[in-house]
A and B are shown apart, each in its own frame.
Chain A
Amino acid sequence: MSEGPAPTPDAARVDIPNDPASIERAQQAVMAALERHAYPKASVFALRLSLHEAITNAFVHGHETLPAATTVALEYDVGPDQVHLVVEDQGPGYRPDAVPDPTLEENLEEPHGRGLALIRAYMTSVMHNERGNRIEMIYKRPAGAAH
């Protein structure tokens, strides 16, 4: 009997090294869980983008001064009506409320600072811990989207 890849769970905690293949694998595990729960295409798009932005922020900004081998922790729990994602880096943290609003006229041409704005736009709720090294995202299945 041939064995395919081991199925990914609907909920897990994974430590992600800073390389594209590992980041993609972690994201794909969440996407596979979304598919099992038949989340609509728009939800999958929103969650993939938000998760990618959170992980990228953790490595690029959170780990800016840390060794390249430092991992980022991802916790996910994909349920039938709600998705819970937590991304935690090992950096010193930052103040999310100090990030300039990239949609203001004077900031439109700034090349950085849009990741968090996209996460806030797409997720149902977004929370940060006091240190600012952990982002928690909750996404509720849109009303009327079939299970």
Chain B
Amino acid sequence: MNTRESRIRVKKLSDITLVEFIDRNILDEAMIQLIGEEIAQLIDAAPSPKMIISFGGVEHLSSAALGTLITLDKRIQRNNGQLRLATIDPQIYEVFVITRLNKLFQIHENVDEAAKSFA
């Protein structure tokens, strides 16, 4: 796998940026770093960004990926934006519960619910 190729899909839902993952496994450190850099650019591209990161189709997620999500959430907050997570597989949601990150992030059943939640 060439990790320099983009590993995300980006869609615009009106003023909301939706990010989806191409891969089922978000484990490899270099890939996670690349994904983090790409999403950071999207965050910086808009004032007060509204972003949904959807985990549909993702089966495995490492602690490094969780760390990157935390860093991205801080970046969005610095830019007066809002982040929502959506469509998380129950087994991956358990990872959020174990690490208590379900308290830190706003997590929604699906992209529609996440989109409705923006103020």
Contact = CB atoms under 8 A, between A and B. Distances in A.
A42 B71 CA distance: 28
Interface string A86-128: 0000000000000000110000111110110110011000000
Contact of B99 (A48, A52, A56, A117): A117
Interface in A33-68: 41-42, 45, 48-49, 52-53, 56, 60
Interface residues of A, number: 23
Contacts of A112: 67
Contacts of B100: 103, 108
A5 interface: no
Interface residues of B, number: 26
Contacts of A118: 63, 95, 98-99
Contacts of A115: 62-64
Given A49-B60, A122-B98, 7 more contacts: A20-B1, A49-B62, A108-B104, A110-B70, A117-B63, A117-B98, A118-B63
Interface of B: 1, 3, 27-31, 59-60, 62-64, 66-68, 70-71, 74, 91, 95, 98-101, 103-104
